[in-house]
Structure 1
């Protein structure tokens, strides 16, 4: 019998349901499992709690796969009830769940990691809370440790999977058996993301009374990249810095790196006292590891001398102390006496250095686990964390410009910038140092985009475009200006349109390699697509910043120079008059009998710039496509950033569709562009069948609507099989009943279009 027949029988609720369910276990393909899971969820789970134990076991076995769990989670999100929630809890508690990481393809691992470490755990906790079920709560509490145990036992689960398990707060990595297995995995293959998370957990708990335990536990790790490990504790408590640096071998280059940071005037001026103190302590710990020869080398370097002098120039006694104590350590190692021999300073230095030089007690591994579990230390830590610190009083310096005296004039206006170099200085204005910073930002808010548009395709904009984009993208809305993000986007579009090739390359590089937020990445994608549309000749009226602002055009020369040009023009008039008189003698006579229609007909305006869409547009498009393909080859499901993955993936796919729309039908590379987009959409559609996300499906449909604008016969030759596969996937989604009304209509339209295009293959 075919699967369809079995499922139809199952929908009727037969008496021999156990036998029927047994037949379904033979179907292993994703599409088949999807149909089985949908039928079970929609028709069988409504009586799940009433079924006998054996039937429930077989149902859980059928749902215990990537597709089945995905459908259970989706059903919980749509409509949470006791039967579905209990089925989910039983499925992840069943013996078969221990095999879920066996025979997993690399392309499926990323999706499975997101499903098991985030979505399943969330729904279990939500069900336990909303349904107030003790049984569900127990299942939710057991699940994280069970999943971590599976991950550590599996040869398939990588460090990203293990780290995903550790992010579930119910998992305690310092439980003895768990930590022993984590250490073994880390020593086999170092993972710095795991180490960073481990040190972060220690940072919130470490103190003087338990530092010996954590020191022993960290000592079990065979860390290969110590400079990176040290970078994780730059802003950590002293106890954790001592633990990490204590395991480090002498490294002069590492010390030089932190002295370079310590010597910067900008760091000294802009860093808080607490952060500055932590860097000072870390630097002292690193310096103590060096031998006398290395100390002598450090003492002769200009950066060390700058570090001491720049600290001594500070008005803050505390900052001066940080510089003096570093200078004292190096000078004392070389000359057996401190550099600054002042009684009060000596007392402060002794207290400061005693904490740094205090040795960490030794203990056994068994004692280490006992020390960090001590109840007394937990109580003490909680007391320390809840202690209220009284803020220091604010002292306001007397300044004539801050006076209330009305006779003191206040200049609160700034000139409108004319050159982009001025714009950059305005963007860099800091309210802490520049009293007119607000006014400078306010004037840029009004004129930046229109001003940049007056510089389009100029050498000036080409020189400053990257710096402008960098500043605009990173600029915070410190003054709470209205519609700030819209202004930011309009400025980026103006820069990109005026210097497209260089600006687009910079934005793409920032998107993939920059340490920026999700909102910034989406803004970059919006900028690329809207800039491409404007360059291609399509006018989007909703894009701000296109209006002309008075005074931003070419500027008149200063009056004295202007008069000189007028005087020169007056001198030239007699000569021009004589030339004109000579031309009058060459008057032509005759009658015009015919005028070409080409001179009278108004030429139609071009809707698209073919030079742009044949050259610069395909370059950007294929760069985005190749990057997507690289990311997808690693993850199997596009960009993976947790909960926000669907948002970024959908926006990226829409960006590709918008750029492709600029190329249709005029670009000479349009067929290659269409083929690449359809291949991407077909691969992603396959993922949607298993893990449905509405906003991603809408983006896929938007891409298909753009692609099917091409000639039908060419589409059949290029991507006929892919279109048929997507039609089949859409029909599965339509049959599952997971789509809303609008999406159903859009899917139906695309299915009919594909049927019309690919009819010879049907």
Structure 2
């Protein structure tokens, strides 16, 4: 080998290099690898880059380690070495590294370099410093790297590699974070590979099983359960039944996913701790602190879990004894004593369900607001033992496709003065107006190659809202086609580049919701599970808010852009999509809420006793409203606010990359403005306020001040809360949240860089200081009453 190393340093021919590579591929030494990296590769890269023998040489522990070290230390040549590394990381790397019965020390080194991610870290650092372009999918993202590692593990399993080696690599692969771990389960949760994971899972220690169980259920099964055969999932996952404990079940409840809860309840029927776990759940469900402070969406999820579990013990001593169980009765009493209708409703629903399971007459009659939670009484999914192959086939049959992600076509450079006469459009033809909702759907879904496609779609966009408002009062046509129509509208693209497309599309979506408010549950499920662009998601939020305001009776207001010439107004709408509608409403609300604070500040500056002439144009305009839709006071929370709030808890997190703050800001803004239009008639207003304050505090604990859209939305929302809530109610029931927000604002105000945000935040601080004074007066009054 010494002779070969010397030759490599002295510019050998291509043929001789190949001979040397072949001779040393099985047992490369450190000096030999160094010679290749220092001389051969830089000198002959173009000639040997595709040499399989060269790649195999670096698919050894010593070869890979030195290659990564060279990338880290030779920044000027990193592009060259990364090109080799990308070829080294092929499907055979893991097998080549572990062949020959490696020692424990070698296994730990392989694990560190490959499965713990050192290779990815080295490449990320090098590409950041040198702007090297990466071509291999495995190095482009953490998800791609985890996908590569998962496929490598499959190779190791199928080649009968020692189980201790695989399990060490498996543990490292599953530590890349929740989002990336989904890639692992997408590869392993298949008929051909699932047994490999089960085999490794069953050999793990108990604490490891619990961690991986949470990861599996809360990150992957939660995504597929709503569209899957639950009995098939039960059969494939029942091997985990002995791992579930109180903490694991709590993590399932936090997802607020009903399909996942049903699967877990089915699996727990095989657990020896079934009754113990049910009693633990009821204990927490009855806790007065939990009742007061836990988000209502999570309380609903916990109630649903209890109902699912006790329904599978129908006729047992556990279920029969509940109605005489002191702890359960105390829980019902605590809930019925609450000021929250939602909390009361959950107690009523559960106790009536227990009565039903025991064959007894229900204690309560469901009021309309309680009926919100009657949907928790779902029939049990039958448990049937199935062979594994039948389970996988059943899952295939239940698979559904997600809505197609359609990016909007927008060309900001188009002329503004040619939108009335566009010669590129097809000639107009005589297309009849749609007269049925089914016909409206046909017009929207027409093949764009159809010669009448433009006129048909244009007619549908223009006539759709009127048709829906005419139809919904008679028959069930609107209700029957609402889901199909709404899904079609959300995914509709601007194929013909209409300037007013987004405005007309939004009007149609609003009309669908107004004429069938119960469609919101379906729409928010699309928002949660659909693969939509940011613009499409914002459009859903805009349609939700505008529909709620229309049902509330708020009259439409002219938007600022409507004072512009028509071509500029259309361009404004085209560029902004649906976001400007929410932004405009938010701005109007901010002006309204800050007007009093501004007037008070002016009075303090001018001093008391001075007469100030105020122009009538500067006075706050009266709010333009009509009579709310019948029953609006019940549906604003039941169909709009709480289902939209549930999206947050079911999603667990909102991450769409760089634009996450924009989307989260619009989401919170929509919740806040729903509270604004719910005032004063909603019977669930206090619950809505409570949930908004809890959510706001949770978000403020995590975000940075750079997320301006999120901060502004929360500040505006808390302003609305202060406006619509009784001060005494706020300081008595939500003092912890109010104090936290006030302290956060006090510390952060100087660091805010946006002038508008600082102004709104200052207005909120003033309101919160008033609340603080109100609290002090309340305490003083109570103290005086005690003394006297």
Short-chain TM bin: 0.3 to 0.5
Larger Rg computed on CA atoms: 1
